[in-house]
Structure 1
Amino acid sequence: MNTREAPTRPRTETAPDRVPHVPDELLLDVRGLRIEYGQGDAARTAVDGVDLALRRGEIVALVGESGSGKSTLAKSIIGLLPAAARRTAGSIVLGDTNLTDAREKDLEKIRGVRIGLVPQDPGASLDPVRTIGSQLAEVFRLHRDGPRRSRRSVRADVIRLLDLVGIDRPEERLKQYPHELSGGLKQRVLIAIAFSLQPELLIADEPTSALDVTVQARVLDVFERLAREFGTAVVFVTHDLAVATDHAVRIVVMRRGRIVEDRPVADILAEPEDEYTARLLEEASPHPRAEARLVSVAGPGATPAIEVRGLTRDFDRAGEHHRAVDGVSFGIAQGTTFSLVGESGSGKSTTARMILRLLDPTAGQVLIQGEDVTSVSGDQKRELWRSLQLVYQNPDSALDPRLPVRKIVGEPLLNYRIGTRVERDGRVADLLEQVGLAPGLAGKRPLELSGGQRQRVAIARALALGARTLVLDEALSALDVLTQAQILRLLEDLQQDLGLTYLFISHDLHVVERISTTVGVMRRGQLVETGPTADVFGNPASEYTRLLLDSNPGHRLRALTDSRSTAALSSSR
């Protein structure tokens, strides 16, 4: 491996204070990097001539929509590009070490020791059949430096790491398996693993996209503390500009493989130089629901589209009794959107599954259009699902990858034996047009579509049988901010045109504020607050709701939006 003359820090045994914070010391230097997928005429450029510099202790956010090249850039730094990708130009230097042409065996010595990776999905990254303690201890065994360490010494380091990333009762957690931890705790375990050997650089690839706001805030605080106390540099890959503006020092905006803007957060917020950055900021800023959309299509006293009364669900697992939903009651007026928010495990999705009759309630009632469907089964459920449909969180797993779009959308029509083949084809064409998909996409398979296009296909399929009520369970969480905005506009237009009713479940309070007519806040299985969106967000009655709102990322964006609104109001007087 080649070296480039650069200041270096002393590397000693893994003492917690061995990394001084030297903010002006260059750590990572990427120059003219070009990454391509495929070869010849089929080659596609994912990263196109990128320059990126990072100093010790600096948190830099890489932002951009899906396909912008941000994840490819991050993976190229740590040498984890897929086999189909190759570097065709440029260099990568970490401290005094040139990684550009490093061999795999050399990169293996650097990964974990000098560069740590925090992946996006903790569920897929932790071994489900091994305890948390054994997975953390393995890092010290794989990267043994110096004499063999005792089990007691390794255990002490593992406990210290769990405590460092804010995991309570670390001694107990050592014996637990991943399925016994919440999403936030699993993500913090991954941070502990990535930081176990105190690397100079942490690469975090969308590490909080699936977490609720309170857990997200705690996880992001860990990154800030590591940067502040140990001088660890962090490359934070995210599509969430609200998160980036709150926690990063600099924002690097990527589009179509190129960096279009690389500046301090304050400068970008004050005046973005690139039109694309301005669009990202506009869509990430708070968008309270317009007053014109607060009007239900049904008049006063009309039958609610959905009504639940005292809904309760108990689970018995391994001899332990757990009440997941506890006496929940609410109604959703026809043509409106009711959002359920709350932390992971609050009971939101369990409530939705009972409403959809995918799960039997222990007690309580579910009424759809005034009809009690609590005990329906068999053909009655099939009939219910004509009018009540689910849009899943992840279209990648919800759509059959083997089928073209026309068959995916037309499958419910075929299953319910509706119409002739010609009539079904006509209905599919109408549905694709309704959700804004070009006719030419009907023959494509899901993997040939973008994330936003796949979610439009999922919505079209949900509407195929004429459903007027949709349950959307985290249906936008996997989408970047611009694609989210497009799907939100589609949902609003469909609601206006078709009089649709939505039960919307999300941990993204920005999205909830924009789409909701009314909001319900759940905690530990109970509904702690309900009301019009403006009231709940503007003047929350519950202390827990205030905690959620305080944890909601985007404080700097909201401050900017408020100041511009005040200035606009003053100038109009």
Structure 2
Amino acid sequence: MNTAEPRAHPDSPRTRMPHSPAEPLLHVRGLRVEYRHHGTATPAVDTVDLTVGRGEIVALVGESGSGKSTLAKSIIGLLPAAAHRTAGTIVLGDTELTGAREKDLERIRGRRIGLVPQDPGASLDPVRTIGSQLAEVFRLHRTGPRRSRGSVRDDVLRLLDLVGIDRAEERLGQYPHELSGGLKQRVLIAIAFSLRPELLIADEPTSALDVTVQARILEVFERLAREFGTAVLFVTHDLAVATDHAARVVVMQKGRIIEDRPVADILATPEEEYTARLLDEASPRRRPAEAGTHPRPEARNAPAIEVRGLTKDFRGKRGQHRAVDGVSFSIEQGTTFSLVGESGSGKSTTARMILRLLDPTSGHILIHGDDVTAASRQEKRELWQSLQLVYQNPDSALDPRLPVRDIVGEPLLNYRLGTRTERSTRVAELLEQVDLPPGLAGKRPLELSGGQRQRVAIARALALGARTLVLDEALSALDVLTQAQILTLLADLQQDLGLTYLFISHDLHVVERISTTVGVMRRGHLVETGPTAEVFGNPASEYTRALLASNPGHRLRALSESRSEAMRAARTPRSDLSALSTQ
């Protein structure tokens, strides 16, 4: 990766000398934030104290609804209208932020506090090029004499190189829709880095990124902290990432900070049971009971999914691009096959072709032995009764205007199945299958937690009696505790209903836990496939080895291995130890 730095002006924050990590920068004292709806006040942040030093990386972790994002938004002054600070102070250096006017906060944002938001799709302007959006930062926060267009362009190119975006010259003229999710997230990180702020708030910045890109981005965070004294508040639900890269971990639960300690101390002796649960669920280890490793008897029949020589070409202004190149694999009924790889590897394109949402350029797709490659519109409609998709983000997949009962029952209505009473009974059965209480049937998606929304999405996918589910990054937006609950649900449904899963993911920890077999994709090619334990334990491809090496959780893995060794040693009989000592 090109490590050239964007050019800095003499009075730019980027030229400040690094500070000692011990020197405090951010002080939050007694902060309380409430959300008010229909006259009811609900505390989201409750009497929180937090300090972040210059050059320090602090991970703010907790499950969905713990208050971590509300705390981060309070610091930068971007709380939604329903949120109100009712107590406490926030000080950055010698500047009081809680009493600052909006005009003053606008000058602070970007220059002294940078923000990397979670959702690049909602944060980038769809009608402006990437180059113009990056250049705008230097125009809005100009210091010193007016700069030439060429000078700003040089800075923009260096920023793109800094965050690992390839073909930087070409990217300047592209629009957000022409970039993958990972590339769009890196553009947001480049924007946040552009003025070298004193404090960088990263709100789940790597949740949508594959492990190799994730590692590169986190290395940039570390470099900023080390070389420029940038303080980084890293908001994440991924403890594997947090423990690898942060100096301290701050654990939030129900709006309160319950632990604030160095990473080594948290790993060795978590003081709270909640923290121990977070660490346990984040620890990288295979759990055969949850991984669908016992195919049902029907697995001897025709594969649930079989693709032969699948190829997809896209034509664009710059010519033809082959996104998927001669991919072949099969998935036995009642098992889970995971496709993994970096952004742009072709895994989601492959899934869309299997679902017949995208026509292949060549090759064949067989579902339960039937060739559906050239399926007509009516044949696709019939296919979708047995083959369904569970989307990545339940927030955008569920209609916010409809109650849960209508969302789950919508496929039944569309296919004109059953009477109103029969549909109502079926919806109740589906909610019970995904462990949702009947009382939620009348609620709308915004009234549910992230895990509950994903359960609703799964129930809807099963409404027509689907035998095979395609789960495209279906757990990436969930915290580790919620992920564990959904993994258990998927395992139970697979066991009870004989379901087959095609699981698309960049999260190798989740893949290792859920999969029977794994396929690794790179640049449109399937470079390796096989049983999960074999691929993860003894990868045949150099690329797979590199992918696994980038997998976060090194400190958690080392801790887990040392504990396993200690347990094995404790179980070894003394007579065996004596025999070993004499050899």
Could you tell me which residue of structure 1 aligns to residue 262 of structure 2?
Answer: 264
What corresponds to 1:507 in structure 2? 506
Q: Which residue is 1:367 aligned to?
A: 366
TM-score where L is the length of structure 2: 0.93
| 3-state SS, counterpart of residue 360 of structure 1 | coil
Partner Cα distance (1:94, 1:413) in 2: 55
List per-residue Cα deviations over 1:387-440 (Å, max 9, x = no partner). Answer: 111111111222122221111111222222222222221111111111000011
Asked whether the equivalents of residues 14 and 195 of structure 2 are also in contact (C-alpha less than 8 Å), the reply is: no
- Distance, in Å, in 2 between the alignment partners of 1:66 and 1:253 is 12
Instruction: Return 5+ residue gaps in structure 2 as ranges.
Output: 1-8, 573-583
Distance 1:248 1:256 in 2: 22
Q: Tell me the residue number matched to 2:525.
A: 526
1:41 positional shift? 4.8
Task: Say whether the 8 Å CA contact 1:166–1:222 is kept in structure 2.
Answer: no
Partner of 1:540: 539
1:126, 1:382 → 2: CA distance?
35
Label 1:143 to 1:521 Cα distance change in 2 as closer, same or farther (>3 A): same
Moved more, 390-399 or 491-500: 390-399
2:131 maps to which of 127, 133, 136? 133
User: Unpaired segments of 5 or more residues in structure 1?
Assistant: 1-10
Is residue 2:569 matched to residue 1:570? Answer: yes
Cα distance change on mapping 1:373 and 1:184 into 2, 3 Å: closer
Question: 1:205: Cα distance to partner?
Answer: 0.7
Contact 1:187 1:219 in 2 (8 A): no
Which amino acid in the other structure matches residue 310 of structure 2?
Answer: L
RMSD: 1.9
**1:69 pairs with one of 54, 62, 67:** 67
Instruction: Report the 3-state secondary structure (helix = DSSP H, G, I; strand = E; otherwise coil) of the residue aligned with 1:38.
Output: strand
Measure how far apart 1:204 and its partner are: 0.7
Matched letter for residue 23 of structure 2: E
- What's the offset of the Cα at 1:15? 7.4
Q: Give the match for residue 117 of structure 1.
A: 115
Cα separation, partners in 2 of 1:215 and 1:438, compared to 1, 3 Å: same
How far does the alpha carbon of each residue in 1:509-564 deviate from its partner, in whole angstroms, 9 at most, with x for none? 11100000000111111111111000000000011111110111111111111111
Structure 1 residues 329 and 80 mapped into 2: Cα distance closer, same or farther (>3 Å)? Answer: same
Shift of 1:118: 1.2
Task: Show the counterpart of 1:336.
Answer: 335
Counterparts of residues 27-426 of structure 1 (less than 5 Å) = 27-38=25-36, 41-168=39-166, 170-290=168-288, 293-298=292-297, 301-318=300-317, 320-426=319-425
Q: Aligned equivalents of 1:380 and 1:172: distance in 2?
A: 41
Task: Report the more deviating stretch, 55-64 or 91-100.
Answer: 91-100
- C-alpha deviations, 1:9-45, integer Å up to 9, x for none? xx95127542323222110111100011117850110
Q: Deviations over 1:110-143 (max 9, x none)?
A: 1111111111122322223333333222222222
Aligned residue type for 1:241: L
- For these two proteins, the number of residue pairs brought into alignment is 563
In structure 2, distance between residues paired with 1:215 and 1:484: 22
Q: How many percent identity over aligned positions? A: 81
TM-score of the aligned structures, taking structure 1 as reference length: 0.94
> Alpha carbons of 1:370 and 1:164: their partners in 2 closer, same or farther (altered >3 Å)?
closer
User: SS of 2:232's equivalent?
Assistant: strand
Superposed displacement of residue 180, structure 1: 4.0
Name the SS of the counterpart of 1:43 in structure 2: strand
Q: Is the 8 A contact 1:184 1:219 kept in 2?
A: no
- With over 3 angstroms needed to count, the CA separation of the structure-2 counterparts of 1:461 and 1:182, relative to structure 1, is closer
Which deviates more, 512-521 or 305-314? 305-314
Equivalents in 1 of 2:110, 2:13: separation in Å? 16
Displacement over 6 Å in runs of 4+:
none
Bigger shift: residues 44-53 or 192-201: 192-201
8 Å contact kept, 1:340–1:522: yes
Show CA shifts across 1:264-310 (max 9, x none).
11110111001111111111112313169422113674321111111
Greater mean deviation of Cα atoms: 111-120 or 152-161: 152-161
